[in-house]
Homo-oligomer: A and B are copies of this chain.
Amino acid sequence: MSKPYILISDPTLRDGNHAVAHQLSAKQIAIYAAAADKAGVPIVEVGHGNGLGASSLQVGESLESDVVLLKTARKNLTNTKLGIHVIPGFATINRDLKLAVDIGVDVIRIASHCTEADITQRHIGYARERGKETYGVLMMTHMATPELLVEEAQKMELYGAEGIIIMDSAGAFLPGDVVDRITALVDGLSIPIGFHGHNNLGMGIANSLAAIEAGATMLDGTAKGFGAGAGNAQIEVLVAVLEKLGYATGIDLYKILDAADLAEREIMPLVPVIKSESIISGLSGVFSGFSKHVSRISSEYGVDQRDVYRKLGKRKVVAGQEDLIIEVVLELVKIRKNAARVN
């Protein structure tokens, strides 16, 4: 049996924005988009780390507006499709989505927390109405059972999604967790299934392969793993390993290696590695996009980041709840003060 084609989407210029507090410049967008295009990457996703319309004081302001980000990418993509990540709540249809479509995005991924597919209905409907390639994305999927994920994904399919991508936003999965979820989704839906992995537990690539072997046909990967926390599945490793296993991606291996090297030089202050706090955040199941904030606030108040992650994990925080970080840090400060008073 010949192996299926794997559709690779590259969110270096969106998920990578988490790693630089959303400060990617138009010039950096242009450089990497052009290199990815040359390597034959099918889809490049661009934007604020939390997607379209998310630039704000609470989760961080973008250096460049969505208009600049998208127009710059558009100009530098010839064969590669331009994609966006859209979380209803951050992105409105009238203000943001309409604009993005007018600028010429090709692929629209409407995302919600894994148990809140309901909020994606209108946005998916709008994207389909405008004739765009439209996917549903479920985030933080370690927080839902396979059965619940199937129910949520079926809603998205009903709304018009042409495929479903599940994200391991916290880097919390081991391969068995991925296989259970992808198998259930492949069985329960009639549209293609994809996986987006993070590397907190060193499983970015292994989980992506597990997804493929369980029937997924779409994967996300970023140059050098550039992305939130411990980073994403590394696109150039994915391409190499998929090639070794006999899957076609249409991406040129030497050229994607070159694009990743270019990205390291031109857009990344540091290549992601698995730091101690990333491991704890993965074990705690906390969204990787929190890491910059947790690190800053913890050191400001002199508390152990690892304890902050554990407490955030127990509270089951999700993206958009960045304000809970300070609450948890203040709690730890209070516990420390009380302990000092007793002693």
Contact = CB atoms under 8 A, between A and B. Distances in A.
Interface string A222-258: 0011000000011011001100110000000010011
A303 interface: no
Contact of A174 (B225, B236, B244, B282): B244
Contacts of A174: 209, 241, 244-245
A63 interface: no
Provide the main secondary structure of the chain A interface.
helix
A319 interface: no
Contact of A203 (B205, B260, B272): B205
Contacts of A245: 174
A282 B239 CA distance: 13
A47 interface: no
A235 B244 CA distance: 27
B244 A283 contact: yes
Nearest to A256: B276
Interface residues of A, number: 34
Name the residue among A175, A206, A209, A280 with the largest chain B CB count within 10 angstroms: A206
A241 B245 CA distance: 26
A271 interface: yes
When all copies of this chain in the complex are counted, the total is: 2
A333 interface: no
A234 B276 CA distance: 11
Contacts of A205: 201-203, 206
Contacts of A282: 240
Contact of A237 (B202, B224, B233, B306): B202
Contacts of A273: 224, 271-273
A237 B201 contact: yes
A204 interface: yes
A137 interface: no
Interface string A193-221: 00000000111111001000000000000
Nearest to A283: B240
B237 A274 contact: yes
Contacts of A225: 274
Interface of A: 174-175, 201-206, 209, 224-225, 233-234, 236-237, 240-241, 244-245, 254, 257-258, 260-261, 271-274, 276, 279-280, 282-283, 306
In the A-B complex, list the 5 residue pairs whose CB atoms are closest, starting with the nearest. Answer: A206-B206, A202-B205, A257-B276, A202-B237, A271-B273
14 contacts: A174-B209, A174-B244, A174-B245, A202-B241, A205-B206, A224-B274, A225-B274, A240-B283, A244-B283, A257-B276, A257-B279, A258-B276, A271-B273, A272-B273
